Amino acid sequence: MTAQTSFFENVVRYVDRAAALTSHPPGLIEHIKICNSVYHFEFPLRRFDEKGQEYFEVIKAWRVEHSHHKMPTKGGIRYAPDVNEDEVKALAALMTYKCAIVDVPFGGAKGAIQIDPARFERDELERITRRYTHELVKKNFIGPGVDVPAPDYGTGEKEMAWIADTYEAMNPGALDALACVTGKPISQGGVAGRREATGRGVFYALREACAIAEDMKNLGLAPGIAGKRIIVQGLGNVGYHSAKFCREEGEAIIVAIAEREGAIFNPAGLNEEEVFQHRRSTGSILDFPGATNIPNSVDALELECDILIPAALENQITEANAGRIHARIIAEGANGPTTPGAEKILEDRGILVIPDIYANAGGVTVSYFEWLKNLAHVRIGRMGKRYEAAQERRLVQMVEAITGKSLSEKDWNMLSKGPDELDYVKSGLEETMVFAYQNMRETWKSRKELPDLRTAAFYIALEKVAHDYKELGVFP
């Protein structure tokens, strides 16, 4: 973030850049840009110091609903010590455009509590989460058809389960109560594949981009993701799974991983799971066997590589370091990792940036599947799995009869097992990411006034949101 602009202002600058290429009236664009509802509240938390003395800590919290062009609104809840209203507004706005890009029928929203989760005991975090939910319920800022939170930085499945339980307690008998929040444990109404969805979406985005021979030739790269050198910033949920799928399914090489305490580099490749376990046991990714330490994690972004995945926090690639980035492709796993000033530098240098409002949309896409599952009250695939398995078995038997060859038991079971919930989720996510990328790229290439993929993405999002507002009769 530069000294002149905030995170939200950076998002607005991206919107303005795309809006200038549309024919929508200025009033409509201004309405789309603003956050419709901003709820900032505080509440006390009863705690005890080391001597057992009681005291109260005031907790600051937010919920922002950016756009009501579609309902419910949707967006994660962030627990972070430095989070502020500007950040929450920016993230809510990005959610609106993100949902539009991948055709998920939600408006954008975001929530946050200004705490460092490491400072609190589990029971304190539970009380904070339940009180936060209670406040949202009182103001009608949560509900299956109103506003549906999800996990974000600093939160996970257990917080979402507490939210769902609190909402159900305050709405006894509400049939669709579980759909008030996504990212829940599977036993509490969650969906298979949600935890790794954002990282898997980043992989699908990269795989699709790298499959286009023309674009790779322009970058001086061979088609395909296999063998490409990747640097990942952040070993949280998004960074870990992005690295995992790129390495395991894409056969790419993870040459560096960066975290808050520093970075590690190994040109022969790193295994993200081994690095994760090393950090769990030592408290740091540094001194990982066979890797070189890099004390300043931001310096790792400037190492030689083919692909850079910033999957930590916003404003990591700025005007100060954009000229030293050596990657040919940047896939934004985090929200807002690149500032507008840096974007222009990267664009001029011919670096392909796969923007956050598309690249990290896997989480909200699979959250949508979970929401639908909760509304339908049936596990995805339950109605058709056995029928499809039977059809597959018949097909395998026909192939064996025609060829006169018998498949091994392993191959037989693999080909005739029928899809389970995770198979459907992966298929739906892959279809979403592939279709959205092709649409985004086609728009970029067919409209010469669009300088890059990000502008094309915002252009598509604005067209969709503006169309919805016009259909609602808000604007002529």
pLDDT digits (tens, 9 = 90+) for 308-330: 999 998 889 999 999 999 999 99
Instruction: Quote the pLDDT of residue 476.
Output: 61
272, pLDDT greater than 80:
yes
Mean pLDDT taken over the chain: 94
Contact between 324 and 395 (Cβ < 8 Å): no
Instruction: Quote the pLDDT of residue 2.
Output: 40
Q: What percent of the chain has pLDDT over 90?
A: 86
Question: Stretch 78-93: mean pLDDT, rounded?
Answer: 97
The token pair that represents 267 in the structure block? 């040109």
User: At 331, phi and psi to the nearest 5?
Assistant: -110, 110
- What is the Cα–Cα distance from 297 to 245, expressed in whole angstroms? 22
Instruction: Quote the pLDDT of residue 414.
Output: 72
Contact between 297 and 261 (Cβ < 8 Å): yes
Active site residue ranges: 110
Contact between 341 and 321 (Cβ < 8 Å): no
Confidence of residue 4 (pLDDT cuts 50, 70, 90): low
74, pLDDT greater than 60:
yes
Confidence of residue 75 (pLDDT cuts 50, 70, 90): very high
Neighbouring residues of 279: CB distance < 8 A, sequence distance ≥ 6: 235, 259, 285
Tens of pLDDT, residues 409-457: 777 777 777 788 999 999 999 999 999 999 999 999 999 999 999 999 9
Question: Stretch 451-464: mean pLDDT, rounded?
Answer: 96
Tens of pLDDT, residues 162-182: 999 999 999 999 999 999 999
Phi-psi region of 193 (alpha: psi -120 to 50; beta: other; left: phi over 0): left
User: At 150, phi and psi to the nearest 5?
Assistant: -160, 175
Nearest alpha-carbon partner for 474 in 44, 17, 70, 2 = 70
CA-to-CA separations, 97 to 91, 225, 274, 451, in angstroms, rounded: 10, 27, 36, 18
20, pLDDT greater than 50:
yes
Instruction: Quote the pLDDT of residue 318.
Output: 93
Cis peptide before 72 (omega within 30 of 0): yes
The token pair that represents 194 in the structure block? 């949600």
Confidence of residue 471 (pLDDT cuts 50, 70, 90): confident
Instruction: Quote the pLDDT of residue 241.
Output: 97
Instruction: Quote the pLDDT of residue 7.
Output: 93
Q: What percent of the chain has pLDDT over 70?
A: 99
Tens of pLDDT, residues 212-253: 999 999 999 999 999 999 999 999 999 999 999 999 999 999
pTM of the model: 0.93
Instruction: Quote the pLDDT of residue 1.
Output: 40
Q: How far is CA 272 from the centre of its chain?
A: 19
CA-to-CA separations, 82 to 65, 336, 358, 413, in angstroms, rounded: 20, 16, 26, 51
Domains in the chain (CATH in brackets) are: 37-188 (3.40.50.10860), 197-359 (3.40.50.720)
Instruction: Quote the pLDDT of residue 112.
Output: 98
| Residue 252: exposure state from Cβ atoms within 10 A (0-12, 13-18, ≥19) | buried
Instruction: Quote the pLDDT of residue 381.
Output: 83
Instruction: Quote the pLDDT of residue 444.
Output: 96
The token pair that represents 55 in the structure block? 């005291």
